[in-house]
Amino acid sequence: MNMRMIKYIILLFFFFPLLSNAQGGKEDISREVKLYNPFKPSLQKAGKINFFPELGDTLIESPEFRYDISPRSFMPGYDIKTITAARLQPDPLPKLYKGFLKLGFGNYFSPYGELSIASDRSRKSVGGLYLNHESSYGKLKINDATSVYGGYMDNVARLYGTKFFRRTALSANIDFNHIRRYAYGGDPVLLAPGETDKDSLKIEYFNPQANIALYSTRLDSSKMQYDVDLNYNLLYQTSIYYQHLAALKADFGYDMKIFYASLGLDYEMITIPNIEDKFRHRVNLNPAISKNSANWNFKLGLKLTANARYYEDPGLPREYKTRLLFHPDVLFRFSIIPSILNMDVGLDGEYADNNASEIIYTNPFVITHNPAAPVKPDDDLYTILPTDTQLRLKGGLTGHATKNTSYRLRASYSMFRDMVFYENDLFQGRGFDPLYDNGELFELKAEVSAKINEEISISARAGYYDYKMESLDEPWHKPSWDGRMIMKYNLRDKIIARANVYALSERYARFGPMPYSSSADYSVNELPMNISLNIGLEYRYTRILSFWARLNNISLNRYYEWNFYPSQRFLLMAGFSYSL
């Protein structure tokens, strides 16, 4: 049998009992229904033959809205509360240290010290103390065979303070300056070995001074502006050679709506007890008006000077007289391209007093020296004539080439009277005698500064000078050109490097006539051109402690500040700075 036959037999076996019950007609059908739960009729698997018919309308009606606005005021309830004023907090100020101490030491046995102490920030007053010392005790060579003591010493002390009032301020300071030099220079042919002793060559100046000033602090230009200064200056060499200087200076300004009016007053009195020119008086008066606008401004003024003292004109004896001098004071500035190109032109003059307390910082070697004798002060230092720049025409251009680059070009032509020059004295050339001459001077100067990036900045300056002398052969000791370039590198305020390059043209100096010769001719020396490099490096270990080093006078040849006075050669100095 196959599988199909087996399936039929099994189906017959299951359906056979059902067939036998259906054929039994002898039994009565029971018509009794037993309900165990409530009856719930239901249809098993009822299927809907058809859905109810639907009516589709093709007409679309747009809804229509009608509304009216009836305005009426709405008054919300509210409570009034006071709004407190906003408090503006200023930017935090950097920490202000009360001072610093700077110490260093270099070759030529050269100590250096600097101390500054200042008060804290205050709206009422400020004050402080500043001290500085720099000296050298080494020897240097005038030539290959002669070494001399070429030391020097500079001391500065300054005590200052300012008291602030409501509309004014009162400031005062007391200064003390001490200068020590040694007359180590001279013609090497004439110098005797025994005359190079440093004690016999010492030159010393003491220059204390005091100043008190009262000035306006109003920011309103419509109010009177003023600045009144009272100054006293003492220059002391010996009990015979000394000078007193007292000066009163006052400046006033007032805005008169149409223009700004200013007036400058200056009175100076000099007393030198032990020379013929004992008393000098000078009065300056400088009235002016000015006007400022966004793109231009001008100043129109006059300088009046009256000077009473001894004068020595060529071919005439010295006599005491009063000179009246008048100089214009005119300046006009305007912007061609605002902040990029500005131009100014001016016409003025100048009167330089040339008193001894100014000359010693220019040439401290105006002395008298006789062979085999110590150097002594010289009357010439206290009788140098004033220089009158009778007329000066000037003009220039200033502005910014880029955001971080600025420039300045200046040109001037001036006529001067009694400009001071110096020549070596008639013995060994240690000291200098003043000479005077009239003439003309043309100056051309250019400056540029640029910030390359956050770390590097550079600045440069150059000048050209053309003298036309009336009597002298050359403008003794004056250069025909000079230049300077400064480069700075700042690495995150941690390492700061600086390099300075200085250049100076050839200069000419006069010496003679020689005492050892019967000739009346002068000897002219040419001082060589000099280019020198100075390098500085600072390492800021912390905010209050740093270490520094300087390398100065890196040059191929010697620099001569004055004829027969060579400077020190390579100088290395190192030290530290500490903020207090």
DSSP class per residue in 539-567: EESSSSEEEEEEEEEEESS--EEETTEEP
Beta bridge partners of 110: 106
| Mean model confidence pLDDT for the chain | 86
Find the mean pLDDT for residues 67-89: 76
Q: Note the pLDDT tens digit of each residue in 537-576.
A: 999 999 899 999 999 989 888 888 898 888 888 899 999 9
Q: What is the number of other CB atoms lying within 10 angstroms of the CB of residue 316?
A: 8
Q: Which pLDDT band, with edges at 50, 70 and 90, does 519 fall under?
A: very low
Residue 409 lies in a domain: no
> Global pTM?
0.80
pLDDT given at position 69:
74
Residue 91 lies in a domain: no
Pairing state of beta strands 202-216 and 225-236? antiparallel
Find the domain containing 372 and state its range: 113-386+418-430+512-522+539-579
Q: What is the number of other CB atoms lying within 10 angstroms of the CB of residue 151?
A: 22
pLDDT at 390 over 60: yes
Residue 290 lies in a domain: yes
Counting the structural domains of the chain, the total is: 1
pLDDT at 22 over 50: no
Find the mean pLDDT for residues 101-121: 94
Q: Which pLDDT band, with edges at 50, 70 and 90, does 59 fall under?
A: low
Residue 242 lies in a domain: yes
**More confident site: 55 or 384:** 384
pLDDT at 114 over 90: yes
Q: Note the pLDDT tens digit of each residue in 167-212.
A: 999 999 999 999 999 988 887 777 655 445 788 889 999 999 999 9
pLDDT given at position 47:
57
Q: Which pLDDT band, with edges at 50, 70 and 90, does 420 fall under?
A: very high
Residue 81 lies in a domain: no
Asked if the peptide bond before residue 317 counts as cis, ω within 30 degrees of 0, the response is no
Residue 156 lies in a domain: yes
- The percent of residues in the chain predicted with pLDDT above 90, rounded, is 57
**More confident site: 128 or 17:** 128
**CA dihedral sign of residues 363, 366, 367, 370:** positive
Do residues 448 and 459 lie in contact, with contact meaning Cβ atoms separated by under 8 Å? yes
pLDDT at 25 over 50: no
Find the mean pLDDT for residues 2-11: 66
Name the DSSP letter for residue 92.
P
Cβ contacts of 74 within 8 Å, gap of 6 or more: none
Residue 491 lies in a domain: no
Within 13 Å, how many C-alpha atoms sit on residue 232's CB side?
7
Residue 478 lies in a domain: no
Q: Note the pLDDT tens digit of each residue in 118-128.
A: 998 888 999 99
Q: Note the pLDDT tens digit of each residue in 29-50.
A: 556 656 555 656 665 555 555 5
Beta bridge partners of 395: 345, 411
Q: Report which residue type is found at 231.
A: N
Find the mean pLDDT for residues 401-426: 92
Within 13 Å, how many C-alpha atoms sit on residue 22's CB side?
5
- Distance, in Å, from the CA atom of 115 to the CA atom of 112, rounded to the nearest integer, reads 11
pLDDT at 90 over 80: no
